[in-house]
Structure 1
Amino acid sequence: MNELTYYTEISEDLQKNNPTAYEELDEEIHIIIHKLKFIPLESRPIVQVISNDESIQQDYLQELLKVAGAQPIASAVPLEDVEILIFIDETNNYLSTLPVELQTLYAESKAVKNNQIYIIQKSAFAKDKAAYIQDIEVLAEIVQSKYFVFGHEGEEWIKFDIRY
C-alpha cells in the first residue's frame, strides 16, 4: 500500500496521535482492498469526477477512486470510454442544469448511455483528509455497488436517473 501517498500520510499521523483511530482506518482500508483484489484493474470501471470546486486536489481524488475500485487513470480518457460520471455538488446547483449537460456535453459517454450518473452531495467531499475513509466509502458504493453498501446513498450521494 506504499503507492497510497495520502493513506500513508494520514496513517502515520494517526499512529502517533490516535492509535485507536489508526487501527480503525487500517482495518477498514484492508477490508475494502481485500474485497477488490479479485477484480482485475482492466475490469474496473473508468470513472470521471466533475466538480467546479478548484480546491479539490486531483491526486488526492485519484487515490480515493483507486481505493474505491475505479480504474486508475494516468491521463485524459476519451469521453466515450467513461463508464461512470460523478458530479460533486454540495449545493444542488447541478440538478437544474445537469439534464441539458448530459444531453449535450456528455451524451457520447458510456455513463450516459448506460444511465450511470451520480451526484455526491457530501459536505467537503475530497477536501478533508480526516474524512478519508468516509469519502472512500461514498465512492465505493457508487463505483463497486455490488460489493459495498455503507449506507451513504440518499444522504451523501444520489443516482441521477436519466430517462429520455
Structure 2
Amino acid sequence: MTSVMQNLSYLLGEDISADQKEELETRIDIIQHKLKYVTDKPLVAIVEQLEPLKLAGLNAEMIDLAGGKLTEVSGETTWEELALSDPEIVVIALPGKTIEQHLALIGDLFSNSYFMNLYATKGDKVYLANGTTFYNAKGETLVDHLELMAEIINPKQFHFGFEGSGWVKFNI
C-alpha cells in the first residue's frame, strides 16, 4: 500500500489533512484488499471523444488499482485501431457531458462496424460515465473516481453507489 500511496500522493494533493489522507488511504486499501486474489484484469478503453476518436490517457495505475488494464491505444486514434486492441470494457466519458447528453450523441455508434464488433460491445460491457465529474479529480474526488472505475470493472466485488449518477451500463 505504501508504494501505491507514494505514487498517488501527488494526485491526492498537498492541501489535505492527515485525517483526510488516512481516510482516503483506507478507501484505496479496501479496493486493493477485495482485488487481492482477482488475477483477470480486463483491458479497458476510455473514450473521451467520438469523432475523431480520442481515448483518454488516464493514469494507468488508477485503472490497475480499480482492477483493470488500460489499453495501450491512447490519444487521437481510429475505431479500426481500437478494434485491433479489442478492449473488454469500454467507458465513454465525454468531458463536460452528462450521461443524458452522452445518450443523445452516441447514436452513430450503431452504424460503426468497428464499434459493434468490439469484444466489449458484444459482451455488453459498454458504459457511459458522467463526463462532468470524471476528469481532473483530486483528493477525495480522485478516490471517488477510483471507486467508480472499480464498480464498472468489477461489479461483483464493488457497490459504492455511483451507478445511475456516475455511470450507467449502455445496453446495445
TM-score range, shorter chain: 0.7 to 0.9
Task: State the distance in 2 between where 1:29 and 1:132 align.
Answer: 10
Q: How does 1:60-71 map to 2 (within 5 A)?
A: 60=59, 62-71=60-69
Instruction: Provide structure 2 residue ranges, at least 5 long, that are not aligned to the other structure.
Output: 74-80
C-alpha contact (below 8 Å) 2:46/2:91 kept by paired residues: yes
Runs of 4+ residues deviating >6 angstroms: none
State how far apart, in whole Å, the 2-side matches of 1:12 and 1:121 are: 23
**Greater strand percent: which structure?**
2
**Number of residues paired by the alignment?**
154
**Mapped pair 1:52 → 2:49:** yes
The answer (yes or no) to whether the contact 1:118–1:160 under 8 Å persists in 2 is yes
Q: Percent identity?
A: 26
What is the deviation of 1:72?
4.7
TM-score (norm 1): 0.80
Structure-2 separation of matches of 1:6 and 1:93: 34
Structure 2 match to 1:8: 9
TM-score (norm 2): 0.77
Match of 1:88 in 2: 93
* Cα distance per residue 1:24-67 (max 9 Å; x no partner): 01111111011112112xx11111000039xx97243x232111
Three-state SS of the structure 1 residue aligned to 2:116 is: coil
Matches of 1:113 and 1:96 in 2, distance apart? 21
Q: Deviations over 1:71-117 (max 9, x none)?
A: 254x2385253111100032343313424314414122111111111
1:121 aligns with 2:121: no
